[in-house]
Chain A
Amino acid sequence: MQDSKRENIMSSEGQVANRKLKLAESIILSSIVVAIFIPTITIAAELTAPLKEWLKNTFYHHWVGKSLISVIVFVGLCPFTFVVPYKTGLERINRLLFILVTLVLLGTLAIFGFFSYETFLK
């Protein structure tokens, strides 16, 4: 009886731990998508006047639009990636963190590089 009780406790602890891993992974995955979205929409809006106009007309200011859409993308993706069944673990989280850091660095370089190019070389 005591053994089965211990097993139940361990199994529910395991479920909580797994849910935490899943939630953390879904948040990191959503952040990765946002890290790709931000430089993409930044550069796209500069190169496509109608897009920038649409952001300005819909959200009052293009930057407000980019901010809000980033939040919507993040918040919208989190539950989706949480619900989709896949195996998770600390190893995956470590790998995703590395990918996130790399993408943010590349995104930063892309943004600075693009505006520098527009100012000095165009």
Chain B
Amino acid sequence: MNLFFLNALVWHILLGIAAIVTYAGLPLLLKGKEINVGLLKIYSLLGFLGFLGSWIAGGYYYVSYYGKAVKSPILEGANPWAHKILMESKEHVFLFLPFLAFVVLILVNFFSKELISSEKLKNNLIMLCLLIVTLGIIITLSGIAISGSVTNKP
């Protein structure tokens, strides 16, 4: 694996995890005694940018390297389901995340006053963030299993 692909792999993980951490932090901020709107906006922007970055880096790695060098060893190895189920599902389920992240970004920026006054809107936003975190964790665990299924046995 050359330096480009290594960076793409590492950055797609780092940015994805960072984004998940921000979306895990958002519900905690929303449930606080006093809602810090500035911090909400920063977290939602960082989360959205994180997923965008992970999309680009991960996509580059997947399209340019994974298919040629990683897919076959997994399919020929002990756990072909790691590609057939986990990778195939992960690459498509991820596509939901940037759009969900954008919805969170818009809600936090457009309705900061309503988030303080409307319990229903606050709870719906928390639900959305928890969905993003859950999908993110599922995708992360799938990624770990996929990486764990790669061997260099001929």
Contacts and interface: CB of A to CB of B under 8 A. Distances in A.
Whether A and B touch (Cβ < 8 Å) is answered with: yes
Please classify the interface of chain A as helix (H, G, I), strand (E, B), loop, or mixed, using the class held by over half of its residues. Answer: helix
Contact of A104 (B107, B120, B121, B131): B131
A64 interface: yes
Interface string A41-68: 0100000000000000000110110110
A24 B65 CA distance: 38
Contacts of A24: 106-107, 110-111
**Which interface class (under 10, 10 to 19, 20 to 34, 35 or more) fits A?**
35 or more
B127 A35 contact: no
B96 A107 contact: yes
A97 B51 CA distance: 20
A27 B106 contact: yes
A12 interface: no
B63 A118 contact: no
B130 to A, nearest CB: 9
A105 B128 CA distance: 11
A101 B88 contact: no
A36 to B, nearest CB: 11
A112 B81 CA distance: 12
B73 to A, nearest CB: 17
B93 A94 contact: no
A74 B99 contact: yes
A71 to B, nearest CB: 9
A115 B93 CA distance: 12
A94 B127 CA distance: 11
A108 B99 contact: no
B72 interface: no
B11 interface: no
Contacts of B147: none
B48 interface: no
Given A31-B99, A63-B63, A119-B81, 13 more contacts: A20-B111, A24-B111, A34-B96, A63-B62, A64-B59, A93-B121, A97-B125, A98-B124, A98-B127, A100-B128, A104-B135, A108-B138, A118-B84
The 9 lowest CB-CB distance pairs between A and B, nearest first, are: A97-B124, A119-B84, A42-B92, A20-B110, A61-B63, A115-B88, A31-B99, A115-B85, A112-B89
